[in-house]
A and B are shown apart, each in its own frame.
Chain A
Amino acid sequence: MTVWRDAALTGWGRALRASTRAARPERANQLIEALDAAGPSLCLYGAGRSYGDAALNSGGATVITSRLDRVLAFDEETGEIEVEPGAAIGGLLRDFGPRGWAPPVAPGTGFVTVAGAIANDVHGKNHHADGSFGQHVTQITLRTGGGETLTLQPEDEAFRATVGGVGLTGAILSARLRMRPIAGDKAFVRERRMPSLDAFIEAFTESDRRYSVGWVDAAATGATLGRGILEEGESTGEPSRERARRARAIPFDAPPFLLSASVVRAFNAAYYARIPKDGRTRVRPLSAFLFPLDALADWNRLYGKRGFHQFQCVVPPDATESLRAILAEAAGSGLASPLAVLKRLGPGSAGMLSFPMEGWTLTVDFPAAQASADLIGRLGATALDAGGRVYLAKDALLPPSAVPRMHPELDAFRAVCDRLDPEGRMTSDMARRLRIRRAADG
């Protein structure tokens, strides 16, 4: 019998919350039971690392799959692995990294589950080289909203709807994917100062490393607009002097002054100056390089009680002026937190509603407040006008009209959802807010 509990779940940004009836099965048969007993309004929840409302379902049922985290099969020769939906990306790296295999794509935190990574078709620091997560998935077992269990292959429409489909096609029961061979579970990391946005763009264009990511000082304006640190990496078997760290917890909600403009400006200047003028190269544990924030558990509490919004957009390769405009507006607002990230994306994506497309992706955090919401609205509009997209995994604020503009395959997606889930059980606060499943009603 499924145990349901009235829970208040939040997105990672903690600005949005949902009162929901939640179940958290620990065994495969209990998962099916919970899905079947969930009633007419059902949403899936992984590790809750989406920032907005992608995994929230106010007033309905939520089935949390993070406890189903077993590896079901692994082929040492090919690196093909089959896992339950809740297997964490970081756990796969921890256990298979020493044997020379890494998850093909790793987002910025290792807590993300495989099902969550599929549902948002996530990208990593190697996107320009290896594409999105869904491109490495070879099979998905899906329990549809209609209660059928399907085995999906990459060429199936339902597969392309499930990848990036923010949980709306049904529940992922298990998935097969190809792990990537690595030279070792350490990384050669080169860090260089980038004095301006132009320097960044040039360096990204020239970089031939497997991993690359840029930290941007989102408080810098004028001539220093877009300055930051470019980190490039390559996996290696060389030993590292840095030890894998145990996560330290942040025990309380931080006071608001921590993110005031002057504190952020001072922090960013110091963070920038920390890297010597002519750069530096170190060997680090691959996990420390891929998941820099995981050493601080619950770091989202640093933003205080009201929470925060993360804005992430992508614009096409030649839309660098739009990129500059977005950055300038964010920097000029004095609202941006130190966490801003710039990256060059390749063309790879595997789903109908996938976020990745070739171009420049910029990520900035803002404390939750009306001024931030207005600003994020303007930034999103600029990105969409440039032919870009805003990332659903991060979003809490887009208007419904944005979805068909960003995702030309929306109608095909809706048709698959209707076929797999004729009664429309699969839903979420995001699905209703953005009218993802239906144009008119909610």
Chain B
Amino acid sequence: MAERETWIILGATSSIARAFARLAAADGADLLLAGRDEADLERACGDLRARYGAKAEVFLFDAREPGDSRALAEAAAARPGTLNVAVFLGSMPEQTAIDVDPDLAAGVIADNFSGVVSALHRLAPLLEERGDGVVVGVGSVAGDRGRLKHYVYGASKAGFHAYLSGLRNRLARKGAHALTVKPGFVDTAMTWGEKAKPLMISPEAAAADIMRAAKRRQDVLYTPWFWRWIMGVVQLIPERVFKRLSF
């Protein structure tokens, strides 16, 4: 690498984010790990320093605090070279919990959508200015169609998908790029509490897939790949049939 490169990782404590940060560090990039759990983020930074000699720092960031986005953009602006941003942030309470307490919806939308958008929207001008860099936005196959089981979560991810496609259009004009990632079932803490799922992949496999797609500047990535086909079928089901399904 001729110039310095930084990966800013939002939601850096998630298991896919951890694996992704290791791949970036192994490539020689600097890391800014953003999230809420300072002690855990410090451990993650220590790991990247020890394993890869990476320059890794913690940035305390809460998607529900508008001030944090501003501070993050300032910290990013102070870094030389290429800026990349990967968003692994998100939360997924049970739909039934939201049904009981609708106030939970606002938090889910902040974590998965509005908070992330306000951060990315402050970072986007920096990527434009520098004329390179990649935004990786991790959405979900749940955002492809609202399902009974997870539709508040799905709606927030669908909003994020639409935002990313607009951002991609904007960044492309200035030499930067945005990648939309739609993971299927990945074996993470989020899926641990649920029933065992078929076709599960490891966080490491998902992270490797995402890094490959980011380097190739792919637009939309389903990981693992066959989810593109599964969701293609799910989207073809007519609404009058779909509304009776409960998966």
Which chain A residues have a beta carbon within 8 Å of chain B's beta carbons? 3, 5, 7, 24, 26-29, 67, 70-74, 81, 84, 95-96
Contacts and interface: CB of A to CB of B under 8 A. Distances in A.
A70 B39 contact: no
A72 B43 contact: yes
Contacts of A95: 26, 51-52
What range describes how many residues of B lie at the interface? 10 to 19
6 contacts: A3-B193, A7-B196, A29-B40, A70-B44, A72-B50, A74-B50
B189 interface: yes
B46 interface: yes
Contacts of A73: 46, 50
B57 interface: no
A67 B43 contact: no
B15 interface: yes
Interface string B36-66: 0101100110110011100000000000000
A98 to B, nearest CB: 10
A96 B51 contact: yes
Given A26-B15, A28-B43, A71 B193 contact: no
A71 B47 contact: yes
Nearest to B52: A95
B112 interface: no
B229 interface: no
Nearest to B194: A5
A430 to B, nearest CB: 24
Interface in B175-234: 189, 192-194, 196
Contact of A3 (B39, B43, B44, B192): B192
B62 to A, nearest CB: 17
A2 to B, nearest CB: 10
A71 B189 contact: no
A162 to B, nearest CB: 22
B225 to A, nearest CB: 15
B46 A71 contact: yes
A72 B46 contact: yes
Contacts of B13: 26-27
The 3 A-B residue pairs whose C-beta atoms are closest, nearest first, are: A70-B47, A74-B50, A71-B50
A26 B40 CA distance: 9
B193 A28 contact: no
Nearest to B189: A26
Contacts of B193: 3, 5
B224 to A, nearest CB: 12
Given A73-B46, A74-B51, 20 more contacts: A5-B192, A7-B196, A24-B189, A24-B192, A26-B189, A27-B37, A27-B39, A27-B40, A29-B40, A67-B189, A70-B43, A70-B47, A71-B50, A71-B51, A72-B50, A73-B50, A95-B26, A95-B51, A95-B52, A96-B51
Contacts of B47: 70-72
Nearest to A23: B192
Contacts of B15: 26, 67
Contacts of A3: 189, 192-193
Contacts of A5: 192-194
Interface string B12-44: 010100000000001000000000010110011
A24 B196 CA distance: 14
B39 A81 contact: no
Nearest to A92: B51
B187 to A, nearest CB: 9
A52 to B, nearest CB: 23
Contacts of A81: 50
Contacts of B40: 27-29
Nearest to A3: B193
A303 to B, nearest CB: 22
A71 B37 CA distance: 18
Nearest to A68: B43
A28 B39 contact: yes
A5 B52 CA distance: 34
B174 to A, nearest CB: 36
Contacts of B51: 71, 74, 95-96
Nearest to B47: A70
A173 to B, nearest CB: 12
A28 B40 CA distance: 7
Contacts of A27: 13, 37, 39-40, 43
A28 to B, nearest CB: 7
A28 B38 CA distance: 12
Contacts of B46: 70-73
Contacts of A71: 46-47, 50-51
Contacts of B189: 3, 24, 26, 67
A96 B189 CA distance: 28
Nearest to B190: A3
